[in-house]
Structure 1
Amino acid sequence: MTDPVERLGPQELGTYFVLLEALSLLQHQVEQQVQADGGLSYIQFQLLGRLVGAEGPLTMTQLADGVVYSRSGLTYQAGLLEKAGLITRAPSPDDERATLVSITDAGRELFHRVLPGHVEVTRRMLFDSLTADDLDHLGDIMTRVRDHMRAQPPRSAAPRKRRPKNN
């Protein structure tokens, strides 16, 4: 039997760990910034960003797939945002199983208040270390990787795990 570590070559393994470390460092700084500037979690900021960029309400499934988050976790986060008056949720008139999520004026205002700090952190942590050519190459590479990953069925399409019934 082959050792599972040998399945990735040294270059692949090294690249994988560098990518994870860079993403973790960036996410940590972003999380601190959105909390300090807006009292938001990283996922809440992502949800507001998706809604600001949408041309209308999104379903909870669209949001979960867009931010790559579990349905139950998203429901909890949406509840917090709704309680804070940053989003609204309503049944879809077209699909009784779907819930539509819209951003409120207060949610839009908060997002735009937090965004400049987010841009500053992202620029400082990521883009300042790259040349224009680097940015082109990184954009091309990450688009290919993302598209390859997105070609798989979305997480929301996975069947829900059923809890065993206690008899």
Structure 2
Amino acid sequence: MVGIPSGADADNGPALDPQQLGVYFALMEAVSLLQHQVEVQLRAEGDLSYVQFQLLARLASVGGHLTMTQLADGVVYSRSGLTYQAGLLEKAGLITRCPSPDDERSTLVAVTEEGLALVGRVLPGHVEVTRRLLFEPLSDDDLHHLGDIMTRLRDHMRAQPPRSAVPRKRRPSRPSAAQSAPQDQDR
């Protein structure tokens, strides 16, 4: 394992103590293991990625439409990545996209009947994987405590501005070939 420096870092404050570091790695590993198994199930039963399932399930749960920004913030996904995934889902006939009548800058997204049917088909397997891996080893008391902890963490993290409110970083423009080519000094 790579050594993690201990002590204080002038830029970031004190380092994580061993218990904090252990909790962090256990959480990240558990999330990765669960997400991997869910992804395997979704691919096998519906040819869907985890993100595509999240988008379809979120749209199905609202029973109407959401803007692309609401979807991106809800599933915590980049704008460009969401646009790409929505394009794939639209091409497959699982969602529709159209301009918002209320805001010309917004695009509305809705799940189609085919999309709802697909969610209904993969949901039982999704529930089974989640129940087996996440909930089976927990007592009712564990579940209560975990729910409280995860809700507190989520609410703390969601208190930050949504990703859609964070200005996009501008990439520095690269000089064209003519601008970057050495100038002939003999002219």
TM-score with structure 1 setting the length: 0.96
User: 2:36 corresponds to which letter in structure 1?
Assistant: H
Aligned to 2:52: 44
Higher relative contact order (Cα pairs below 8 Å, separated by 6+ residues):
1
**Gap runs ≥5 in structure 2:** 1-6, 177-187
Q: Which has the higher helix share?
A: 1
- Identity rate of aligned residues, in percent? 73
Distance 2:35 2:69 in 1: 23
Aligned to 1:66: 74
Distance 2:48 2:89 in 1: 9
SS in 1 for 2:57: helix
SS in 2 for 1:88: strand
Q: Which has the larger radius of gyration?
A: 2
Structure 1 runs, 4 residues or longer, greater than 3 Å off: 3-6
Aligned length: 167
Deviation at 1:23, TM superposition (A): 0.3
Aligned to 2:8: 2
The RMSD of aligned alpha carbons is 1.5
Aligned to 2:113: 105
Distance 1:55 1:38 in 2: 21
TM-score with structure 2 setting the length: 0.86
User: 2:60 corresponds to which letter in structure 1?
Assistant: V
SS in 1 for 2:22: helix
**Gap runs ≥5 in structure 1:** none
1:118 aligns with 2:105: no
Structure 1 pair 5–18 and aligned structure 2 pair: CA distance change class (3 A): farther
Aligned to 1:54: 62
